[in-house]
C-alpha cells in the first residue's frame, strides 16, 4: 500500500489535492462544482462516472453538513470506492493459480496492444506464481514482435519458468497450443500465454487472438483472458478494451504504468463501460511491480 501510494503520487497531486481543496472549503457554489467536475474529467473518470460521483457528493455533503477537509475526504473516499464496485454480473474471481496438484494447468492468455506491457506483465505474473510455489510454463505466442520471445525467456530465466517458443513470424496459435500441451505433459500448475498484440483491424485481431483461444480450447479450458492496458494512454486504453472485448471474452484487466501517470482514473471507465474488473496493476518495470487491484487502496493512493 505504501508503495502504491508512492507510485501514484502524480495521480494524487492532480486529483486528491484539487478535490480536497475544493470540497474542504465548506459550501460550494456552482463554479466550484464545475471545477470539481473538471478535476474528475481531467483525471479520466469519464463523463458518466463523473456525473454520478458529483451527484452523490452533492447529496452527501448537503445531508451530512460537511464542514472540514477531514469530513470531505471521508465522503469523497466512500463515493469513489463505491464507484469502483459496479455490479458485475460475474463475480470477481481470484486469479487461477492451478490446484497445486497439477491435474490440469490453469491457462491464462495475456492479450493487449504492443507496448502496453504485455510481455512484462506475463513475466511478473509468472514470478508471483512461482514465488507462491507454483510451476509455470510460458508460451511466447507473440511471434510478430521479434524481441518478445527473448524478453520472455529473460523473465523465465529470472523467475524459474520454462518457455515454449516458436519460429519468428510463425503461427501464434501453434505456439499457444504447444505451450499448453507442454504444460499438461509436464504437469505444471499454470500456463501463461503471451499473445500477439497486433491491432491492425478487428478482423485481423479476431483471426489471431480468436484463433489462439479456439486452438488452446481444443485441449484445455481457458481460465482467464487478461487484457493489458497502458494507463498512460488514457482514453485510447478504453478504445482498445472495447475492441478486444468484442473479439474475446476478457475476464480481467491489468492496468500497467500506473507509476507514470496522473491518468489512473481510466480504471473507473473501463470497469463501468465493459463490466470487466481491473484485477492487477503494474507499478513499474521490475519483477515485484505487480499488485492486486484493491479499490480502497487505489482510492487512498489517489487521494493521498
Ligand atoms: P508489450 O509489447 O506489450 O509486450 O510490452 P513490454 O512488456 O515490452 O513493455 C513495454 C515497455 O513498458 C517496457 O519498457 C516495459 O519495461 C515497460 N513497462 C511495462 N509495465 C510497466 C509498468 O507497470 N510501469 C512502467 N513504468 N513501465 C512498464
**Per-residue pLDDT reduced to its tens digit, 167-221:** 888 899 999 999 999 999 999 999 999 998 777 676 777 778 999 999 999 999 9
Which H or E element spans position 41? helix 30-42
The reported pLDDT for the residue numbered 12 is 47
Task: Answer whether 263's CB lies under 8 Å from 257's CB.
Answer: no
| CA-derived radius of gyration, the chain | 21
What backbone torsions phi and psi does residue 200 show, to the nearest 5 degrees?
-70, -50
Distance 227 CA to ligand 1 centre (A): 14
What backbone torsions phi and psi does residue 23 show, to the nearest 5 degrees?
-75, -30
Of the pLDDT bands very low, low, confident and very high (cuts 50, 70, 90), residue 256 is very high
Within 10 angstroms of residue 303's Cβ, the number of other Cβ atoms is 19
Task: Answer whether 22's CB lies under 8 Å from 28's CB.
Answer: yes
Distance from chain centroid for Cα 219: 27
Q: Name the percent of the chain lying above pLDDT 90.
A: 40
**Per-residue pLDDT reduced to its tens digit, 130-162:** 988 889 999 999 988 878 999 999 999 999 999
117 Cβ closer than 6 Å to some ligand 1 atom: yes
The reported pLDDT for the residue numbered 275 is 86
Q: Name the percent of the chain lying above pLDDT 70.
A: 87
The reported pLDDT for the residue numbered 205 is 75
123 Cβ closer than 6 Å to some ligand 1 atom: no
**Per-residue pLDDT reduced to its tens digit, 34-69:** 999 998 888 888 899 999 999 999 888 888 777 777
Q: Whose CA is nearest to atom 9 of ligand 1?
A: 117
Task: At 84, list the grid cell.
Answer: 469502483
Within 10 angstroms of residue 174's Cβ, the number of other Cβ atoms is 16
Distance 165 CA to ligand 1 centre (A): 20
Amino acid at each position: 500500500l505504501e508503495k502504491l501510494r508512492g507510485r501514484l503520487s502524480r495521480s494524487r497531486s492532480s486529483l486528491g489535492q484539487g478535490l480536497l481543496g475544493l470540497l474542504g472549503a465548506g459550501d460550494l457554489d456552482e463554479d466550484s462544482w464545475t471545477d470539481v467536475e473538471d478535476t474528475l474529467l481531467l483525471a479520466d473518470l469519464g463523463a458518466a462516472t463523473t456525473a454520478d460521483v458529483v451527484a452523490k457528493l452533492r447529496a452527501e455533503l448537503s445531508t451530512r453538513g460537511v464542514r472540514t477537509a477531514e469530513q470531505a475526504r471521508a465522503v469523497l473516499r466512500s463515493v469513489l470506492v463505491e464507484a469502483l464496485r459496479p455490479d458485475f454480473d460475474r463475480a470477481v474471481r481470484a486469479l487461477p493459480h492451478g490446484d497445486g496438484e497439477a491435474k490440469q494447468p490453469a491457462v491464462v492468455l495475456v492479450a493487449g496492444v504492443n507496448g502496453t506491457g504485455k510481455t512484462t506483465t506475463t513475466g511478473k505474473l509468472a514470478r508471483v506464481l512461482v514465488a507462491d510455489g507454483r510451476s509455470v510454463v510460458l508460451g511466447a505466442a507473440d511471434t510478430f514482435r521479434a524481441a518478445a520471445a527473448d524478453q520472455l525467456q529473460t523473465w523465465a530465466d529470472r523467475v524459474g519458468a520454462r518457455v515454449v517458443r516458436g519460429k519468428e513470424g510463425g503461427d501464434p496459435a501453434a505456439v499457444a497450443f504447444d505451450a499448453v500441451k507442454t504444460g499438461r505433459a509436464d504437469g505444471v500448475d499454470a500456463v501463461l500465454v503471451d499473445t500477439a498484440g497486433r491491432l491492425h483491424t478487428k478482423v485481423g485481431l479476431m483471426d489471431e487472438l480468436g484463433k489462439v483461444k479456439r486452438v488452446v480450447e481444443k485441449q484445455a479450458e481457458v481460465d482467464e483472458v487478461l487484457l493489458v492496458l497502458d494507463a498512460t494512454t488514457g482514453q485510447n486504453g478504453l478504445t482498445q478494451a472495447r475492441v478486444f472485448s468484442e473479439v474475446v471474452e476478457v475476464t480481467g484487466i491489468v492496468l500497467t504504468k500506473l507509476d507514470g501517470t496522473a491518468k489512473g482514473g481510466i480504471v473507473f471507465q473501463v470497469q463501468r463501460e465493459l463490466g470487466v474488473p481491473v484485477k492487477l496493476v503494474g507499478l513499474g518495470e521490475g519483477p515485484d511491480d505487480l499488485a492486486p487491484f484493491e479499490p480502497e487502496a487505489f482510492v487512498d493512493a489517489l487521494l493521498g
